Each structure stands twice: as structure tokens, then as C-alpha cells.
Chains A and B, each alone.
Chain A
Amino acid sequence: MANSTTAKTKPAAAPAQPASLMSIVAPAVGWLIPGAGHIIQRRWIRGGLLFVSIGTLFVLGLMMQGHIYKANGGDILDILGFVGDLGAGGMYITTLAMNWGQGAIAFAIADYGTKFMIVAGLLNFIAVADAYHIAIGKKQ
């Protein structure tokens, strides 16, 4: 007797989307400049809001004397801090180039500043993923 589960037909898999140029360019540009991945896909308001939100968080973090992490192979929290900061893309590169965010954390608000910059980077990772989903047609 045949197993009834084997008789069920599997639903046809969705056809694979060919990788378009936009699906590569939008995340890359979005990482470099927060919100730009949306703007080049004509999502002007979303891109602008992402730019202002992520940019303001990062700049406020710097102004609060937050610490910026560099590439390191030491403490796990330092490595995670670096990964978070790296998400800010161009802002992170500029900050490193200008040697900002290198002071010692002397008060509680400065520690908040450090977290602001890490979260700005992590939020930009989410924005980059969103730009990619728009580029491949998974989201409008």
C-alpha cells in the first residue's frame, strides 16, 4: 500500500529571480550612505527618513563623546562593537579617517553615545536588507 504522504504533490518552488544589477548596487550604496539604497530605487521618503534617523543617531553618539571600535581580535564585546559600528558604512569610515571617537569614556552619557553609534550601524544593516528586498521585488 502506497504511503499517502508520498502521493501528495509538493508545491512548485517559486522561480529563482535573476540577480539584477540593482540587487547588488542598492545594498552596497545603502551601506555606504544610510537610506541611499532606497533613494536610488525611488523610495524618496523612506530613504530620507532612514538617512536622517541613522545619521542623527550616529552623529549624536559622536557628540556624546562615544567610543568608536576599530578592527580587533581581542575581547568578544569589542569585536561585536566593531561589527555594529561597521554597519554605519561611510560614516564609520569618515569617523576613523578623522580620528574621532577615540577618547576614553569618562561619564555615563558617553557610554550611551557608544551604544548610539553601534545601534546606528545595526539599524543600517536592517535598512540594507530592506533595500535588497525591494530590489529583488520581495517588498514594494
Chain B
Amino acid sequence: MTIQLTHFSAAFVFALFASIVFGITHRETTRDMLRYGLYCFAMFLGGVLLAGWAMWLVRR
């Protein structure tokens, strides 16, 4: 069984699961875990979008 993800969906899935693990392992309290997980997720996806637009600008 194979799966074909788009580049963005692959980045989304990666960001989601990596952020969950980072949140759980890098903070002490549940609230801090949630906040840090959301922060990591935003950074991952924000970085992807920023890099994507930067490459689009370079290509033009």
C-alpha cells in the first residue's frame, strides 16, 4: 500500500507530529506542553510557507 502526499500535506503532517513530541518532551506542565506544541507547529508551518514564498520570489 502506497500513499502520495503533496509537498504541503507532507510538511503539515510532519509539523503536526513533531510538534506533539516536542511539546510533550520539552515542557513540564500540561499547559506549557500545549503552548510549546502550538508554538513549534506554527514555527514549522510558518517556516515552510516563508521558504516557499522566498523560493517563488527567487525563481521570478
Contacts and interface: CB of A to CB of B under 8 A. Distances in A.
A129 B25 contact: yes
Contacts, number: 57
Interface in A96-120: 108-109, 112, 116, 119
Given A63-B3, A64-B3, A112-B5, A56 B25 contact: no
Given A53-B21, A54-B21, A116 B2 contact: no
- By size class, the interface of chain A is 20 to 34
Q: By CB atoms of chain B within 10 A, which of A63, A65, A108, A109 has the most?
A: A109
Given A112-B10, A130-B24, A140-B28, A54 B2 contact: no
A53 B20 contact: yes
Contacts of B13: 56-57, 60
B17 interface: yes
Interface of A is mostly: helix
Contacts of B3: 60, 63-64
A65 B1 CA distance: 9
Interface of B is mostly: helix
Contacts of A65: 2
B24 A46 contact: yes
A24 interface: no
A130 B14 contact: no
18 contacts: A46-B24, A49-B24, A50-B24, A53-B17, A53-B21, A56-B17, A57-B14, A60-B3, A63-B2, A64-B5, A64-B10, A112-B10, A116-B10, A119-B14, A119-B18, A123-B17, A130-B24, A139-B28
Interface of A: 46, 49-50, 53-54, 56-57, 60, 63-65, 108-109, 112, 116, 119, 123, 126-127, 129-130, 139-140
